[in-house]
């Protein structure tokens, strides 16, 4: 299940958390909230952001 959780603290600080999204979808789906709420001061990506991404290693042939 996909969720976007918005938590507003007593001092007015807003925390947005996404659950159930993989890869960049979490950023894309929550973008409208960032535009409505104003300047982002901190971003912490979770392991779900990196899910499905594979690093491709390329090696140069040194000999031969």
DSSP 2-54: -EEEEEE-TTS-EEEEEES--TTHHHHHHHHHHHHH---------HHHHTT--
pTM of the model: 0.65
Domain-embedded: residue 43: yes
**Is 28 part of any domain?**
yes
Residues 6+ apart with CB under 8 A from 9: 15
Please write the tens of the pLDDT for every residue from 32-54: 988 998 888 888 888 888 776 55
pLDDT beyond 70 at 57: no
Domain count, the chain: 1
Which structural domain, as residue segments, surrounds residue 44? 3-50
Residue 64 falls inside a structural domain: no
Per-residue pLDDT, averaged over 14-36, amounts to: 88
Residue 57 falls within a domain, yes or no? Answer: no
Token digits for 48? 């779900």
Q: What is the pLDDT of residue 56?
A: 53
The reply to whether 44 falls in a domain is yes
**Is 61 among the domain residues?**
no
In a domain, 62, yes or no: no
Query: What confidence score (pLDDT) does residue 32 get?
Result: 92
In terms of average pLDDT, the best of 2-6, 51-55, 56-60 is 2-6
């Amino acid at each position: 299940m996909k969720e976007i959780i918005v938590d507003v603290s007593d001092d007015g600080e807003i925390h947005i958390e996404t659950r159930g999204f993989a890869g960049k979808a979490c950023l894309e789906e929550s973008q409208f909230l960032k535009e409505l709420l104003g300047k982002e001061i901190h971003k912490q990506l979770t392991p779900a952001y990196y899910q499905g991404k594979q690093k491709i290693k390329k090696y140069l042939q040194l000999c031969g």
